Amino acid sequence: MSSSVLCLLITIIFSLPRVRGISPQVFNIVSNATCLEPDYTWMNNTEHQSPCLAVAYVIAACDGDTWTQPALPPGYSYDSPNGTTATPCYCSWSCYNLMMACTLCQSPAYASDLKTWPSFSQNCPSNYKDEVFPQGYVLANNASSIPYWATIDPTTWPSELFDITQAESYANQSKSTFLHLLPNPLICPQAIPTTFPPI
């Protein structure tokens, strides 16, 4: 079987649940946190979503496409994953980076509410802690994306603490966005044949 036919078959197999679920998807992903404009606008993803809404999409991908990322009151910090909330999404690099950005963008005074990566991820199983975003999951409805600066391995930030200056410098370099469109690790050719060639 040629690789393009294999690709087509796999693409079809992976699209089946989407075809069956064609009725409007029930999802509820929100954040009422407000990022200060224009200082933190560079944190927005290509869908013009704040890091607070983007992190809600990341966590929701493992949580039935439902997540509310609340505004942070002074003196609080966002919960780290714990025994009941640790999922491969919540424990991912992009979740940590977006969560810290979401903290900072609400007030520069919240810098003291940041957590280091070892602190944030202490309740995560080790196999959840080595990915930008877990394989096999997608951001709901393809309606969000992860900015490049949020894909950085947090162990490489100075002292393993989200570094806003480095992140902004990545954002300034307009590096490409990280998209998770298909739960399909196979790289398919651009043009997928619409009819089956003879095998």
Ligand X SMILES: *[C@@H]1O[C@H](CO)[C@@H](O)[C@H](O)[C@H]1NC(C)=O
Binding residues vs ligand X (CB under 6 A): 32, 35, 41, 44, 48-50, 53, 70-71, 79, 82-85, 142, 165, 168-169, 172, 181
The answer to whether residues 57 and 91 touch, using CB atoms and an 8 Å cutoff, is no
Task: Report the residue number, 82 or 127, with the smaller CB distance to ligand X.
Answer: 82
Task: Report the residue number, 1 or 187, with the smaller CB distance to ligand X.
Answer: 187
The answer to whether residues 132 and 147 touch, using CB atoms and an 8 Å cutoff, is no
> Distance of alpha carbon 40 from its chain centroid, rounded?
18
The answer to whether residues 95 and 55 touch, using CB atoms and an 8 Å cutoff, is yes
Chain position whose Cβ is nearest to ligand X:
48
Task: Report the residue number, 5 or 182, with the smaller CB distance to ligand X.
Answer: 182
Residue 144 C-beta: closest distance to ligand X, Å: 9
- How far apart CA 129 and CA 118 sit, in angstroms, is 10
- How far apart CA 13 and CA 130 sit, in angstroms, is 28
Task: Report the residue number, 42 or 199, with the smaller CB distance to ligand X.
Answer: 42
- How far apart CA 162 and CA 8 sit, in angstroms, is 41
> Distance of alpha carbon 106 from its chain centroid, rounded?
19
Residue 35 C-beta: closest distance to ligand X, Å: 6
Residue 187 C-beta: closest distance to ligand X, Å: 15
Residue 133 C-beta: closest distance to ligand X, Å: 15
- Give the bridge partners for 103, in sequence order: none
CA torsion angle 40 70 30 151 (round to 10): 50
Task: Report the residue number, 16 or 197, with the smaller CB distance to ligand X.
Answer: 16
Residue 38 C-beta: closest distance to ligand X, Å: 8
